[in-house]
A and B are shown apart, each in its own frame.
Chain A
Amino acid sequence: MMVQAEAPKYLDLIKNGIFRENTIFRLALSLCPSIAVTNNLRNGVLMGAAVLFVQVMVNITISLMKDFIHPRIRLPIFMLVISGWVTVTDMTMAAFTPEAYKQMGLYIQLIVAFASILARAEMFASKNTVMPSMFDGIGMGLGFLFALTIISFFRELLGKGSLWGLQIINAKPLLIMILPAGGFFAVGILMGFFNWLGMKYEKKSH
């Protein structure tokens, strides 16, 4: 018996994006920029905000267009929509946050290649109406922002002793954390930590 699936509750969508299907820590997608731009908190947060924006706008756009897209050409259409919004974000950031943009411009442009945004458009936005799609985008985007914030928080704090440019700790910092290697370490350790949390949570609910 075919039952029309009820669009998931909005809050659940948001919680899903942040915890259960968190792009970086659980799905391990779109990792490239997560390490590249998280060597200080400001860049990490800006990148997360950019992804959030693109994700939400793409989801809304695709959801509005879903009835007009021929299934065979949907992937190129999705890519077109995503590249469009990324270009918008790219230009906006170049104009309003030039300093951060100088450091991570390339990675902003690479948002276009994010498997996570494409997957979300394909799996969710193209099959649901605008409101759920928007909240799904918000959820996944917030999850990404959350992950980037945590990573860059630790990397900047340990690597420079500062947060968002404000010096907090005055001891000699752990330089390696702001180097590429430190990025890998940070993500690996945080991933392991989230896995551990997930395992504990699963044990509790049994």
Chain B
Amino acid sequence: MEFSRVFELIIAASLINNFVFTRFLGLCIFFGVSRKMETAVGMSITFTGVMMISAALSWLIFTFVMVPLDITFLKIIVFIGVVAGFVQASDTIMRKISPGLYYKLGIYLALISTNCIILAVPLINAGERYSFIESLAFALGSGLGFALALVIMASIREKLELADVPEPFKGLPIAFIATGLIALAFAGFSGLITI
């Protein structure tokens, strides 16, 4: 597997087709968690980790179980099951093994399970029939892109809290408009690399 292919996929998933700014996924969590830098960073770490492992697990199940049995049409149900199961498992494991870590990152786990991105990445991997390494690269890129989005948004929102926003727009509406501006900037990345 060429390194350049992996690199391409990471750049594509994180910048060109950034999951938040270009694909509009993970918005609920995005807006919920991006208020403070602290929560943004915590969520980014948890998310990237869960993303990569879920992508790996989903790929394994898809390739070795679903394709041979020709039940790929069940991928929605199966992938959701994989994610939910994995999140539940890591919740329990984290609690036992590292309570300190669980204390810091545990809350984000529950939020992740109904995250659009978590489901989208395995679905895209399956649809494009990426190889194992490609799927992992794509997952890593999506995690990095999400982290980037969260951190940018958090730094803006911390400032927005102090700005003089008109009453109807306070909170979410102005966050949406700010996100729109960032999305405009990210649109500049399109065409950077053609996959």
Contact = CB atoms under 8 A, between A and B. Distances in A.
Nearest to A76: B84
B172 A33 contact: no
B162 interface: no
B15 to A, nearest CB: 13
Chain A interface helix/strand/loop/mixed? helix
Nearest to A199: B168
Interface of B: 21-28, 31, 73-74, 76-77, 80-81, 84, 114-116, 118-120, 123-124, 127, 166-169, 172-177, 179-181, 183-184, 186-187
Interface string A68-107: 0000000010011001101100110000000000000010
Given A32-B27, A91-B73, 9 more contacts: A106-B127, A110-B116, A181-B180, A184-B183, A185-B177, A188-B169, A188-B180, A195-B167, A196-B167
A183 B112 CA distance: 24
B119 A87 contact: no
Interface of A: 28-36, 76, 79-80, 83-84, 86-87, 90-91, 106, 109-110, 112-115, 118, 176, 179-185, 187-189, 191-193, 195-196, 199
B169 A192 contact: yes
A195 B166 CA distance: 11
Contacts of A33: 24
Contacts of A176: 184
Contacts of B172: 28, 188, 191
Contacts of A32: 24-28, 116
A176 B120 CA distance: 25
Contacts of B166: 192
Nearest to B88: A76
Contacts, number: 121
A194 to B, nearest CB: 8
A183 B80 contact: no
Given A36-B23, A90-B76, A109-B123, A184 B116 contact: no
Given A32-B116, A188-B177, A115 B25 contact: no
Given A188-B174, A188-B176, A199 B167 contact: yes
A43 B122 CA distance: 24
A-B CB proximity, top 9 nearest: A188-B176, A184-B180, A196-B168, A192-B173, A188-B177, A181-B183, A83-B77, A195-B168, A181-B184
B28 A28 contact: yes
A40 to B, nearest CB: 15
Nearest to A86: B76
Contacts of A181: 180-181, 183-184, 187
A191 B116 contact: no
Nearest to A35: B24
Nearest to A84: B77
